[in-house]
Structure 1
Amino acid sequence: MARRQARFTAQDLADDPRLRDHSPDLWREELGQVQRKLLTSAVRCFAANGFHATTTRDIAEGVGLSPAALYVHFPSKELVLFEIIRVGHERVLSFVQDPAIMALEGSADRLRGIVSAYTIWHARHHVAARVCQIELNGLTAEHYEEILELRHRTNGFFRDAVARGVGDGSFADVDVKRVTRAMLSLSIDLVRWYRLDGPDSPEQLGDFYAELALKLVAK
């Protein structure tokens, strides 16, 4: 979705079907209800208008609070963004490292499971995932480095899955780094256009992208 240049009310954002996903399920349980609602509002605002164009007033009004209310729960707007991006990266990495997927012995089956799970997660949480991918430049240098480490771990996990198949002869002798980047890009790119009310469910898209990934390594 292209960045909107006009300003929209909190109600506009809440009712926009393009901004509906399962992001409200992401937040840490130890956070209070108001904090979780603020994060959900921030996801919509950042996804629609970008981090820098979003004000603390926008975020607070999304949950019916005064502009100053956000600072009671988060010291800064940047820390709201950091919480969203950090949780998003941690959740998706945990999702693809599901024990059921890791228990798959065949390299092709395991790669299929990993790519499918990665795609499903990004589709289910496509609005939050858009913020995680596009608004990284809003982070402080320290917070960016922390997220970068999580991204390296995710990339390494995918590379290991591809290298495993190359090593045991299940896959062609491909350029592991380049192929891995292509697989990750497939799933990440959907955050620009995916809608939960569209023709493909997250699971259908996961199956489709998983098969595309296997074609990238087929002999």
Structure 2
Amino acid sequence: MSTDSANNRDRSASTRERLLAAAVEAFATSGFAGTTTRDIASRAGMSPAAVYVHHATKEDLLFEISRRGHQSAVEIIEGASRRSQDPVVRVRTMVEEFSRWHAVNSRVGRIVQYEFDALTPEHRAEIAEYRRAIEALMREALEAGVEAGVMTVSDTKGTSLALLSLSIDLVRWYHPGGSTTPDDIAALHGELAVRMVGATA
């Protein structure tokens, strides 16, 4: 590959990232419906026409933000679930890390959680797969706890959704820079999770 080709590819990738960052800011501020392609282009310091060189539609930008956000969340949950074989520690850690991620990435989290319906059916189906994977990991940890006799959970599916909601819903009210830190939220939610599952160890 020539140096010119490599430089052009690097510039193209850099431009795509600028547009995605601008879209995050715009969607987080005005919502998907309230944001125009012109808004995104302006935040990125580009012309509206330039957006379409890299993304076919505004929805494509939303999907890419959502896809990346969900992939990152899946990695966080998977990593947390592998840290311990103790079901109680596993659930606590998963909730802590999931909450910390949503606090640190609250703007992206707000977009990926609350603009789901703005995606096309095909894109919603792909994002739904990531969500099912996250829920399945939490449900497996609860089932392990019940089987080991260290948790009291009558509905593992419903409880897994409730535990994940602790993390997901914080993006509605959390704002970085306040007196409550991501670590504070993670510790609180981890403790609440242990109480919610009736842990005995």
* TM-score between the two structures when normalised by the length of structure 1: 0.83
Name the CA distance, whole Å, in 1 between partners of 2:81 and 2:38.
43
Pick one of 123, 145, 149 that aligns with 1:143: 123
Matched, 1:60 2:41: yes
Larger Rg: 2
Query: How far has the Cα of 1:176 moved from its partner?
Result: 0.9
Q: Which runs of 5+ in 1 are unaligned?
A: 1-28
Task: Compute the displacement of 1:137 (Å).
Answer: 1.3
Supply the distance in 2 between the matched residues of 1:212 and 1:170 (Cα, whole angstroms): 16
C-alpha deviation, 1:105, in angstroms: 1.8
Distance in 2 separating the partners of 1:69 and 1:173: 53
In the TM superposition, residue 174 of structure 1 has moved relative to its aligned partner by 2.8
In 2, Cα distance between equivalents of 1:135 and 1:173: 31
Q: Distance in 2 between matches of 1:150 and 1:97?
A: 12
Partner of 1:8: none
Deviation of 1:59 (Å) = 0.4
Q: Give RMSD over aligned pairs.
A: 1.7
Query: Paired residue for 2:56?
Result: 75
Dislocated runs of 4+, deviation >4 Å:
none
SS of 1:116's partner is helix
Which amino acid is the alignment partner of residue 115 of structure 1?
Answer: V
Partners of 2:143 and 2:11 in 1: how far apart? Answer: 38
Pair 1:175 & 2:155 matched: yes
In the TM superposition, 1:154-193 aligns within 5 A as: 154-193=134-173
Aligned counterpart, 1:9: none
- Contact preservation (8 Å) 2:102, 2:109: yes
Asked if 2 retains the 8 angstrom alpha-carbon contact of 1:155 and 1:180, the reply is yes
Query: How big is each residue's C-alpha offset from its partner over 1:114-163, in whole Å with a ceiling of 9 and x where there is no partner?
Result: 11010011001000010001111111111111111111111111111111
CA distance in 1 between counterparts of 2:154 and 2:195 reads: 11
| 1:183/1:213 contact within 8 Å kept | yes
Give identity over the alignment, percent. Answer: 39
Match of 1:110 in 2: 90
How many residue pairs align between the two structures? 190
Residue 31 of structure 1: CA displacement? Answer: 7.2
Task: Tell me which residue corresponds to 1:133.
Answer: 113
Distance across 1 between alignment mates of 2:173 and 2:63: 23
More off after superposition, 43-52 vs 118-127: 43-52
More moved, 123-132 vs 37-46: 37-46
Letter in 1 for 2:152: A
Higher helix share: 2
User: Tell me, what secondary structure is at the counterpart of 1:189?
Assistant: helix
| Aligned-partner residue type, residue 206 of structure 1 | A
2:21 alignment partner in structure 1: 40
Asked if the contact 1:89–1:150 (Cα under 8 Å) also holds between the matched residues in 2, the reply is: yes
Deviations 1:168-211 (CA, angstroms, capped at 9, x unpaired): 11111432112111111111111011111011211221111011
